[in-house]
Amino acid sequence: MAQENNNKQIQAKKKHKITKIDVQSFLLRGRAFIALILVTVVFSLLSPSFLTGTNLVIMSKHVAINALVAIGMTFVILTAGIDLSVGSVVGMVAMMAGGLINEGIIIPRLGIIIYPHTWMIMVLSLILGTLAGALVGYIISRFNVAPFIATLGMFYVARGIAGLRNNGYTFPNLVGSAEYGNTGFEILGAGTFLGVNYSIWLMVILTLAAHIITKRTPFGRHIYAIGGNEHAAELSGVRVSRTKIIVYSISGFCSAFVGLIVASQLVASHPLIGDTYELNAIAAVVLGGTSLAGGRGSMGGTLIGAFVIGVLNDGLVMMGVSSFWQKVIKGAVIVFAVIIDQVQARMQERIAVQQQEELD
Amino acid sequence: MSDLSTNLTVKTDISNNIILTAENITHVYPGTVALDDVSFSVRNGKVNVLIGENGAGKSTLMKILVGVQQPTRGKILLDGHEIKPRSPIEATRLGIGIVFQELNLCDNLSVVDNIFLAREKTRRGGLISRRTQRKLASELLNKLEQKIDPDELLGNLRIGEKQIVEIAKALSQNVRILIMDEPTSALSADEVDVLFRVIRDLKSSGVAIIYISHKLEELTEIGDYVTILRDGQKVAEEEIENVNVTWMIENMVGRNPATLFTHKERELGDVLLRAENLTLPRAGGGYLLDHVSFELYEGEVLGFYGLMGAGRSDLVECLAGARPQATGNIWLEGQPVNTETISDRIQSGFVLVPEDRQRDSIVPTLSVQDNMLLASLKKYLRGGFLAAAKERAATNSQIKDLSIRVANSHQPITALSGGNQQKVVVAKGMLTQPKVLLLDEPTRGIDVGAKSEISEIINRLAEEKYGVIFVSSELKEILAMSDRILVMSKGKITGEFSHQEANEEKLVAASAIGHGSLNGGNHHGSGK
């Protein structure tokens, strides 16, 4: 009888422990969302104008820039890679697009200047960014160069090209002219649909597309497999090199889009556009629960991560916190996010072991 | 100390010379009792064998002894005094060392550096004394009769050689109690002989060995006492000389082992696969595969036996398309196979179950289902997207077919036992609808029950007219399973035996051809 009671107690204890772990793992998995709610609540309390419609739209516009880069970055990080070149590609594409609008394509031999249509300029810019990514992916997979190094190289090269394009000067006033048929570039940055900026729509659409690609296509599954165990993926017939090249191309494509959006919003191209975007993007990805070791994470998480960083940025500015303190806080948040990443990995390991023991 | 031990010898035989006792150990994980009131005694100068199926609690007990985990209840006595090791380092200080089954070595360091990792021999001033370390390492490796260069990078060694290094590392710590968790799972027959000689040396110098293994035959050779765990409880403890393999299996599994490996006479079909002059050059000159030719018939289980480095794994990897440098001709169902890449070979009907499950087979971050479907994702598309219903149907059919024990197919693969993980890997291969299965040591490191199930699966596949190439280092298993056995040595086929004519002596003799002497211990993958 006493033993029976004892057993019951042990069982009750077990149940209690499982719930505790469930709660912990729920908190860890939903940590980005919880952080988002937390920072939003804090800033709303501290500043009454924070949670207004206008402010939310402005903030979302800022977030969209980072989120678009971070979506490309998530593809890369899921394969256990990293892309340091995104910010420089943003700058390079912005300068190239600006040059195409203001100067056109000069063909010296024939003595003619071709002014492509605005649509054409956008397509060319997106192709340029994609090719920059594809080149990096090719170098990484073909020559077995560490992603950190290959993308560090592109980080310098692309930024250098951005400066070279106009000797370090800005391309101002990117409105084109009616007689060349290249007007309307500024609409990408300023235009709205249903009162919401195009860049925000783009963020939503690309996040959804990226989510579907990663979760519901063989290509997406291959990305996760490569990040989890490249050997096993290769031996299962996954074309690892090809997948990696595509992944870095996607990252380049997203960066190119951001380059266009920023240049359009500013109606100008500056060679330093996109500076440190790579760091904001990595921070968003990690904050969103994607493991830097690869194989774990999601696009939805990245979007939330980008919002956390955006809310933090704009909130601190509205609060009048000095830009130096902003940097300190952002740095701390990034490191904290990686610590959480490690805690989660250990936690998942522990849960897996426990499940195994239960099963056996 | 010596007085104490002489006093103890007057006690009964089974309790004498006890150096370490685990008393009434209970270990509770949330939701499960991994160890239930288990007592385990370790005798000085003896090989104390611990066996049980995966999940029986062996690993948990060992983790408790070396301080990785702490018991929920119960205590550990060393020389009669209670100890509470909190970490492996503390356990080593107390004289308890362990050779892990999952190798705990750094691929990027040399053999010497691995052996002395965290216990570097230093000169005055704190600099590492390379000469001393190399000398000691050479001595250890010589004792293990291995021609492993102490300066070689660990990553360049075969898995069996790594295991030898792991053993050398444990030996270098001068422990009084040495735990060996499946030390022979990656070793060839000759290397096992060497290891057993070393174990006997250790015994005579008074070291207590705790020996865990799934290879029951070898236990009767090396063991002194055996303790059997089943479902977290101790079911038997006996002197080895009083027991046999059948008794051990009965206690481990709780059923009659007569049906473990069965061979059924089968009708073979036409030639399914013909390989001619398969050749794989070795980086430093010579051949890993030296003009290998053979045929495989429909419905045939073709065993490949050989020592480590004989070229068996290289052969199946060539067939799977994992070795682009390979040359030679392959015909499948009479058609030449010209494709190069792994994915093309999978399309043609080859599928590989690799030797190293952790490294090459499973993606630890993915679920059971995602692992299982990885090689055949194109089959579950609807309008270009993966259809959950199709995925689930494929997964469930395989779980049922191969009787994979899994509560929920969305569990991480790492939550399964080794045997079930291996079944998932086999299922992954089956879903590609292969014609030729290339199984490289499919039963390594899995428990008796799962081994028997894998062998049943192989038998069934052969009956269904698949061609099965079955690489194994376990003589009993390969003899029982194969319709025909090819023996390899130094990249060449050195013997061919039908099921009827094959026996252990013939296989061992053929596997040593080209190695000079039959008894030499230098058959590791040389020239790495």
Q: ipTM of this model?
A: 0.81
The residue among A263 and B160 whose pLDDT is bigger is A263
Is there a contact between B142 and B168 (Cβ–Cβ < 8 Å)? no
Q: Which residues of B touch A235 (CB under 8 A)?
A: 320, 322, 342, 352, 354, 360-361
Assess whether pLDDT exceeds 90 at residue A56.
no
Rounded distance, CA B398 to CA B70, Å?
38
Token pair for A341: 């990443």
In Å, how far is B118's CA from the nearest CA of chain A? 24
- Average the pLDDT over each of B141-155, B256-270, B457-471 and give the range with the smallest value: B256-270
Rounded distance, CA B353 to CA B317, Å?
10
Assess whether pLDDT exceeds 50 at residue B504.
yes
What is the tens place of the pLDDT at every residue in B292-316?
999 999 999 999 998 777 889 999 9
Instruction: State the best of B28, B29, B233 to mutate against chain A, taking most chain A CBs within 10 Å.
Output: B29
What is the tens place of the pLDDT at every residue in A128-182?
999 999 999 999 999 999 999 999 999 999 999 999 999 889 998 888 777 877 7
What are the structural domains, with CATH classification, of chain B? 266-349+435-528 (3.40.50.300), 364-433 (no CATH)
The stretch B431-442 carries a mean pLDDT of 92
Give the per-residue pLDDT at A136: 96
Residue the block writes with tokens 């509470």: B84
Give the per-residue pLDDT at A274: 92
Is there a contact between B266 and B463 (Cβ–Cβ < 8 Å)? yes
- Residue A357 and residue B377: Cβ atoms within 8 Å? no
- Residue A235 and residue B342: Cβ atoms within 8 Å? yes
The residue among B495 and A181 whose pLDDT is bigger is B495
For helices A277-287 and A323-359, angle between their N-to-C axes, nearest 10 degrees: 40
**Residue A194: left if φ>0, alpha if ψ -120 to 50, beta else—which one?**
left
- Average the pLDDT over each of A331-340, B82-91, B131-140, B460-469 and give the range with the smallest value: A331-340
Give the per-residue pLDDT at A257: 95
What is the tens place of the pLDDT at every residue in B258-268?
556 667 777 88
CA nearest A134: which of A297, A256, A269, A247? Answer: A247
- Round the CA-based radius of gyration of chain A to a whole number and report it: 23
Assess whether pLDDT exceeds 80 at residue B8.
no
Q: Which residues of B touch A233 (CB under 8 A)?
A: 363, 374
Q: pLDDT class for B168, splitting at 50, 70, 90?
A: confident
- Residue A18 and residue B432: Cβ atoms within 8 Å? no
Give the per-residue pLDDT at B520: 38
What is the tens place of the pLDDT at every residue in B127-139?
878 888 888 888 8
What is the tens place of the pLDDT at every residue in B207-242?
899 999 877 888 888 899 999 988 788 888 889 888
- Residue B29 and residue A224: Cβ atoms within 8 Å? no
Give the per-residue pLDDT at A134: 96
- Residue B359 and residue A232: Cβ atoms within 8 Å? yes
- Residue B374 and residue A212: Cβ atoms within 8 Å? no
Give the per-residue pLDDT at A358: 58
Rounded distance, CA B527 to CA B432, Å?
36
- In chain B, helix, strand, coil percent, each to 5? 35, 25, 40
Q: How many CB atoms lie within 10 A of CB B502?
A: 22
- Residue B375 and residue A21: Cβ atoms within 8 Å? no
A contact residues 174-233, partner B, Cβ 8 Å cutoff: 212, 216-218, 221-222, 224-225, 227-229, 231-233
User: Nearest Cβ partner of B363 from A14, A232, A291?
Assistant: A232
The residue among B140 and B123 whose pLDDT is bigger is B140
Q: How many CB atoms lie within 10 A of CB B222?
A: 19
The residue among A300 and A23 whose pLDDT is bigger is A300
Question: A23 at the B interface (CB within 8 A)?
Answer: no
Q: pLDDT class for A19, splitting at 50, 70, 90?
A: low
The residues near A221 (Cβ < 8 Å, ≥ 6 apart) are: B370, B373, B374, B377, B386
Identify the top-confidence range among A141-150, A324-333, B401-410: A141-150
Residue the block writes with tokens 């049943």: B456
Q: pLDDT class for A1, splitting at 50, 70, 90?
A: very low
Averaged confidence pLDDT in chain A: 86
Q: pLDDT class for A353, splitting at 50, 70, 90?
A: low
Rounded distance, CA A284 to CA A166, Å?
32
Give the per-residue pLDDT at B87: 85
Q: What percent of chain B has pLDDT over 70?
A: 91
The residues near B97 (Cβ < 8 Å, ≥ 6 apart) are: B91, B170, B173, B175, B177, B178, B179
Assess whether pLDDT exceeds 80 at residue A306.
yes
Averaged confidence pLDDT in chain B: 83
Give the per-residue pLDDT at A3: 47
Q: DSSP assignment, residue A146?
A: -
Q: What percent of chain B has pLDDT over 90?
A: 28
DSSP sequence for B375-405: GGGGGGEETTEE-HHHHHHHHHHHHHHTT--
Residue type at position A351: I
What is the tens place of the pLDDT at every residue in A90-124?
999 999 999 998 888 888 888 888 888 889 999 99
Question: Would you list the domain boundaries of chain A?
Answer: 68-274
CA nearest B49: which of B180, B210, B271? Answer: B210
Q: DSSP assignment, residue B290?
A: E
CA nearest B137: which of B121, B150, B123, B155? Answer: B150
Give the per-residue pLDDT at A22: 67
Rounded distance, CA A82 to CA A95, Å?
24
User: Nearest Cβ partner of A237 from B32, B370, B375?
Assistant: B375
In Å, how far is A115's CA from the nearest CA of chain B? 39
The residues near A61 (Cβ < 8 Å, ≥ 6 apart) are: A197, A199, A200, A265
What is the tens place of the pLDDT at every residue in B10-60?
334 445 688 899 999 988 765 456 788 899 999 988 999 998 876 678 888
Q: pLDDT class for B526, splitting at 50, 70, 90?
A: very low
If you count them, how many residues does chain A have? 360
- Which stretch of DSSP H or E encloses residue B250? helix B245-253
In Å, how far is A205's CA from the nearest CA of chain B? 18
Residue B39 three-state SS: strand
